[in-house]
């Protein structure tokens, strides 16, 4: 089954006074959002970086809740790791990056497209998080950012963009939602149609576990629909050609036949009419079943 995703961006402070309390606040907020999203038939996923502080706390919470995390780095890994102060922090970050790169729990890893120099790269990365998210969750003390791309600046940018913002107050853990949607969008009907088509390729009791399995299911559907469509079109063309021959035979027979009853031409026309009816039914069948559309859409989806 292809389940729609709701992507939550996360940005927060690097330094917090009470790490255990901060983790508990983040986990509570995440669990609340996850419950709301899943209740509406969607799946929650996180899009964020892995700086020291609340970023790492949020990733820990996501792992405990089974939420996939898509990591984005402001710089290439070795350069990014220079921002960490201790060997323990470096190893913790390496572990998170390796897990995302290997696709643990459906996660992914990418490096931000930016100028590649500090601090501009952090602003570019945070901006890309906002652009790629359906909503933003921030762990923020409410104060102005101390540097380019800071939490306060990104929160202000998210508000200007009209992005829903979930604010965890760094002082006491209060969670406040701004412009939060009451309902999530209905799943795209085209995607839902592909899901149903792909599901039909599964054996009883099977489910899609990975995106590769979804692509494989769509490919099976395409391999079934494509030859069927081609055969149907070829058959329609051949039957039409035969119908034309019978129509021509009826016309010639009517000219040559002196019998007033014209039985010969009537027979030829009857066969011609029957063939045309058959062709009409086959064309209607293809349209009703949307064989061609499903083939094209499935091929495009599989390639994507």
Q: pLDDT tens digits, residue range 110-127?
A: 999 877 788 889 999 999
Percentage of the chain beyond pLDDT 90 is 46
Q: What is the mean pLDDT of the chain?
A: 84
- Which pLDDT score, from 0 to 100, does residue 197 have? 62
- Say if CB 33 and CB 44 are below 8 A apart: yes
- Which pLDDT score, from 0 to 100, does residue 302 have? 62
The model carries a pTM of 0.66
- Which pLDDT score, from 0 to 100, does residue 231 have? 83
By DSSP bridging, strand 69-73 and strand 108-111 are parallel
Q: Mean pLDDT over residues 256-285, rounded?
A: 74
- Which pLDDT score, from 0 to 100, does residue 237 have? 87
- Which pLDDT score, from 0 to 100, does residue 80 have? 93
Give the DSSP letter string of 128-176: HHHHT-SEEEEEE-SSPPSSTT-HHHHHHHHHHHT--EEEEETTT--EE
On the question of pLDDT at 201 being above 70, the answer is no
On the question of pLDDT at 230 being above 70, the answer is yes
Q: Which two tokens stand for residue 290?
A: 């949307």
């Amino acid at each position: 089954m292809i389940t729609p995703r709701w992507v939550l961006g996360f940005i927060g402070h690097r330094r917090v006074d009470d790490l255990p309390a901060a983790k508990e606040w983040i986990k509570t907020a995440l669990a609340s959002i996850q419950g709301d999203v899943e209740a509406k038939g969607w799946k929650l996923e996180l899009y964020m970086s892995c700086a020291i502080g609340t970023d790492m706390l949020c990733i820990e919470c996501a792992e405990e809740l089974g939420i996939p995390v898509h990591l984005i780095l402001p710089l290439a890994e070795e350069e990014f790791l220079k921002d960490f102060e201790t060997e323990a922090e470096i190893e913790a970050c390496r572990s998170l990056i390796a897990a995302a790169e290997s696709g643990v729990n459906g996660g992914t890893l990418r490096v931000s497209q930016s100028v590649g120099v500090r601090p501009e790269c952090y602003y570019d990365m945070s901006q890309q998080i906002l652009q790629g998210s359906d909503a933003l969750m921030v762990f923020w003390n409410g104060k102005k950012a101390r540097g380019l791309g800071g939490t306060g600046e990104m929160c202000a940018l998210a508000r200007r963009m009209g992005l829903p913002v979930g604010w965890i107050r760094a002082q006491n853990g209060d969670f406040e939602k701004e412009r939060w949607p009451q309902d999530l969008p209905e799943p795209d009907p085209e995607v839902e149609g592909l899901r149903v088509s792909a599901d039909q390729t599964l054996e009883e009791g099977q489910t899609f576990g990975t995106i590769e399995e979804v692509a494989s299911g769509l490919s099976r559907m395409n391999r079934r629909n494509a030859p069927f469509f081609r055969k149907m079109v070829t058959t329609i063309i051949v039957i039409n050609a035969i119908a034309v021959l019978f129509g021509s035979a009826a016309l010639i027979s009517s000219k040559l036949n002196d019998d007033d009853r014209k039985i010969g031409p009537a027979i030829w026309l009857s066969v011609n009419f029957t063939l045309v009816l058959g062709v009409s039914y086959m064309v209607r069948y293809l349209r009703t079943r949307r064989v061609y559309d499903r083939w094209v859409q499935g091929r495009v989806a599989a390639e994507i």
